[in-house]
Chains A and B, each alone.
Chain A
Amino acid sequence: MNSVEGLLTQIRGLSSTASDVLSLQNVLKQADESLHAESTRLLPFLDQLDPSKHSLGYLYFLEACTAGPVTTESASSFVLIIARFISSCVAEQIRLAPDKFISVCKRFKDQVLSLEEPLRGVAPMLTAVRKLQSSTEHLTTLHPEFLLLCLLAKCYKTGLSILEEDIFEVDQPRDLYLYCYYGGMICIGQKCFRKALELLHNVVTAPMSTINAIAVEAYKKYILVSLIHHGQLSTSLPKYASGVAQRNLKSLCLSYMELANSYNNGKIADLETYVQANMEKFGSDNNLGLVKQVVSSIYKRNIQRLTQTYLTLSLQDIANTVQLNSPKEAEMHVLQMIQDGEIYATINQKDGMVRFLEDPELYKTCEMIEHIDLSILRLMTLSKKLTAMDELISCDPLYLGKAGRERQRFDFDDFDSVPQRFNI
């Protein structure tokens, strides 16, 4: 007890300036073990500390408190305490002990989920993410936790706000896979298929040394979303996908590849029979909703193909070609597509004719100028980052070793290999 009291006074004394906080951190690291030993009795001491001033000390105490098993009654009180802590803590102090903060937040998430109230956790977790990340381009371990809470609480819009930011730095590869996978699911929920495709693509092409389950699930969803959004699936992965993924992913998602094949043939009846046959497989992957959307999107795809052949067409003809039941249904589909901006057409209701038009965007407006200007600026920053990375990797000894081995040898001098190490 004395040690705890002594620790408390030290925390209160040393939390004012940055150098004090650093020395406090050393003290706390040494006292960590003793804190964990007394984890059950630490709860009342928390009231003596102020989370907004003594964030680091409070964090250590909190982490020790929550280390042990938690009962459901104490869970809700813990949830309140942690939520209050997250909203009032000081970001600089927390960043000194990021792993402790992450473990506290993870336990927070577990408790919230055990209470079956994920909505309570969304806002505090968002604050936690913002306080932990050193810049908006930094992906922390808390990002996927936050997205998971959003998914379970079904508040997709909050999740979308985080997904808008470009990520350049990642702490752990597993964070990236989970983040992009959950992010893809959120976007599918919001029907932003373009962004979902982008995120799922990131998972599938991320560097990985062995195949992992997240990538396999992501690839299944990727196939489905690609069919919905683009109407086709590119069969080969791009060259920046890891070799592991290129070799193994397709064989692990065979039924989905079959689905894509029958989609490409364009015959709706075949597609539907195939889906019926594999219903439970899709269901076990929780992809049934997506598969149904794929089936309904095949009508859209066929109508879009019509725009490339015909200038005007009657509703009856559309219904026949696309294998819809009646011209009324065809009209509904075409109307929906015009509203979504997927085709440009006018429907003449008097004689039931549809006229397909060109893209009316003339690229003459000031808004377009601003849009292009912004895109150019973004490209410029991206280009700078890419050149910096290119230079970094050119100096990487691993790259130099392999590149040196494979270069062409035209002269006897070229047979000297690139030095792997400089022995001075």
Chain B
Amino acid sequence: MASSSSSGLTFKLHPLVIVNISDHYTRVKSQLNLPPSLTSTSSAATSNNNNNNSNGGENNQQKPPRVYGCVIGVQRGRTVEIFNSFELIYDPSTRSLDRSFLEKKQELYKKVFPHFYVLGWYSTGSDAQESDMHFHKALMDINESPLYVLLNPAINPAQKDLPVTIYESELHVIDGVPQLIFVRSSYTIETVEAERISVDHVAHLKPSGGSAATQLAAQLTGIHSAIKMLNSRIRVVHQYLVGMQKGDIPCESSLLRQVSSLLRRLPAIESEKFQDDFLMEYNDTLLITYLAMFTNCSSTMNELVDKFNTAYDRHSRRGGRTAFI
């Protein structure tokens, strides 16, 4: 079902959508987390695949629930930008989509975001399935060519990319019968400044919720790893240039042009006042670190001296703590 899309559209996905889908899924899943003694769940968005209905009540928790919703955004020319999403009520066993709910939601969103319109729908799962096509066709009366955003909620620590895929529908002739099939398309993540703050916030919150100290440490670790990565990338470019200079690697003018244009962008600011302020702030930070180190050292030294005095001074002051009964 997945081959590359040939529609030539570029997709831009905002992180809010991903967060929304994941939130929806997590909410539903945690609401479902009932002890095995209870037989059925009542949430409308649950569904088990038709195959697993025979398992009945005891195995509610084995198959993760699928959630459904709509994605909205803007299409300008060949660029489709997906900004937001909302949930829908859909029962795949009966294949009934709550139309009135959808329309009400659309109206509400239209009031706040007049430019957005329904671009497609989303769901969760590991791969696109045949049954999804029905939903897809159902949405076709709102948008002639809707998108299908699929989030894979399985957590795979080895995976480096986001588990989000975007599918389009195309009319292909298979065995002489024109059929709509899903084709995968590539996308990029796009952020607005405001979104970056919340994404940062979400990314940096540790699960334990840490105090201010661990949050600061987490933030600084983030900055540190970012700088480390920048450093390693620069090293790679540097090695490449050195190799080119030595003649081990054939010269490529386009790459050289790119490197030179990058270098010409720096330094970003160069003026005496900037140097002054920069050095002053740098010095201030260093002095504060120095002060912190000093305090740390002094307190260790103080403890050491106390212990030494207790252990070795023959006539140290007795604490005078007598028996307490």
Contacts and interface: CB of A to CB of B under 8 A. Distances in A.
Interface in B281-307: 282-284, 286-287, 289-290, 293-294, 296-297, 300-301, 303-305, 307
Contact of A409 (B276, B286, B315, B321): B321
Contacts of B286: 369, 372-373, 376
A160 to B, nearest CB: 26
A372 B300 contact: no
B2 interface: no
Interface in B257-295: 276, 279-280, 282-284, 286-287, 289-290, 293-294
Nearest to B323: A409
B286 to A, nearest CB: 4
Interface stretch (A51-59, A163-171, A387-395): A387-395
Given A366-B279, A373-B286, A390-B303, A379 B297 contact: yes
Contact of A386 (B282, B287, B304, B324): B304
A239 B290 CA distance: 25
A410 interface: yes
Given A364-B276, A364-B280, A394-B307, A372 B318 contact: no
B300 A243 contact: no
A407 B90 CA distance: 68
A399 B311 contact: yes
Given A364-B283, A369-B282, A386-B297, A240 B324 contact: no
A383 B300 contact: yes
Contact of A372 (B287, B309, B315, B316): B287
B321 A239 contact: no
A398 B307 CA distance: 10
Interface string A370-411: 001101100110110011011001101011001100111110
Interface in A59-116: none
Interface string B183-227: 000000000000000000000000000000000000000000000
A382 B300 CA distance: 10
A383 B276 CA distance: 32
A393 B301 contact: no
Contacts of B314: 209, 243
A338 interface: no
Interface string A345-365: 000000000000000001111
Contact of A393 (B289, B293, B311, B315): B311
A389 B304 contact: yes
Nearest to B307: A393
B307 A399 contact: yes
Nearest to A407: B321
B315 A243 contact: yes
Contacts of B287: 363, 372
Contacts of A409: 321, 323-324
Given A243-B315, A364-B283, A382-B297, A372 B290 contact: yes
Contacts of A390: 300, 303-304, 307
Interface residues of B, number: 34
B310 interface: yes
Given A243-B315, A386-B301, A402-B311, A410 B324 contact: yes
A408 B310 contact: no
Contacts of A376: 286, 289-290, 293
A207 B307 contact: no
B187 to A, nearest CB: 45
A45 interface: no
A242 B309 CA distance: 8
B291 to A, nearest CB: 10
B250 interface: no
Nearest to A209: B314
Contacts of B176: none
Contact of A363 (B283, B289, B296): B283
A402 B312 CA distance: 9
Contacts of A240: 305, 308-309
A402 B314 CA distance: 11
Contact of B319 (A369, A373, A406): A406
B313 interface: yes
A36 B321 CA distance: 60
A192 interface: no
Contact of B283 (A372, A383, A389, A399): A372
A209 to B, nearest CB: 8
Contacts of A406: 310, 318-319, 321
A220 to B, nearest CB: 24
A279 interface: no
B280 A363 contact: yes
B321 A408 contact: yes
A368 interface: yes
Nearest to A414: B324
Interface string B113-126: 00000000000000
Interface in B121-155: none
B92 to A, nearest CB: 61
A394 to B, nearest CB: 7
A366 to B, nearest CB: 7
A366 B282 CA distance: 10
A396 B290 CA distance: 31
Contacts of B307: 390, 393-394, 399, 403
Given A364-B280, A372-B290, A239 B309 contact: yes
A399 B318 CA distance: 14
Contacts of B284: 363
A353 B321 CA distance: 64
Interface of A: 207, 209, 239-240, 242-243, 362-366, 368-369, 372-373, 375-376, 379-380, 382-383, 386-387, 389-390, 393-394, 396, 398-399, 402-403, 406-410, 415
Given A379-B294, A387-B300, 11 more contacts: A243-B314, A364-B280, A368-B283, A375-B290, A383-B300, A393-B311, A394-B307, A399-B308, A403-B307, A406-B319, A406-B321
Counting from the closest, the 5 A-B pairs by CB-CB distance are A399-B311, A240-B305, A379-B293, A386-B300, A406-B319
28 contacts: A207-B308, A207-B312, A239-B309, A240-B305, A240-B308, A240-B309, A243-B316, A364-B279, A369-B279, A369-B283, A369-B286, A372-B283, A372-B287, A372-B290, A379-B293, A382-B297, A383-B297, A386-B301, A393-B304, A393-B311, A394-B307, A396-B311, A398-B311, A399-B311, A402-B311, A406-B310, A406-B319, A409-B323
